[in-house]
Amino acid sequence: MTLAMASDPKKPKPATADPAPALPVIQGEGDYISGRRYQRAAKRFVEEHDTERLARDAAPRNEAEQQEMAEAEKQGKANARGRKSPRR
């Protein structure tokens, strides 16, 4: 068999898998599209808002509020580790 015969234009070529899509579709923590969307939104938020003022406004106003925020943070961290919070 010669090289010319191997690439006969009349002979149908076997179906091959499509090359990689233009944008890789990876879901979960490696979702590139969502990551880029988040980065753009976060950058725009910081550019358009006074984040220092927002942080001051979110600070606890008294000792009771500070304790409440600390407890909420503790529960959030416990949930992130897979443990149930005591209020469930």
Location of structure tokens 């590139």: 32
Please report the beta strands in 1-88, taking only residues with DSSP state E, as ranges in sequence order.
Answer: none
Cβ-count burial 48-76 (b if 16+ within 10 Å, e if not): eeeeeeeeeeeeeeeeeeeeeeeeeeebe
Round to whole Å and give the CA distance between 68 and 72.
Answer: 6
Which pLDDT does position 19 carry in this prediction? 57
Which pLDDT does position 86 carry in this prediction? 59
Q: Is the pTM of this model over 0.75?
A: no
Which pLDDT does position 3 carry in this prediction? 52
For each successive 10 residues of the chain (88 residues), what is the average pLDDT?
A: 56 59 62 90 98 96 97 92 61
Which pLDDT does position 81 carry in this prediction? 76
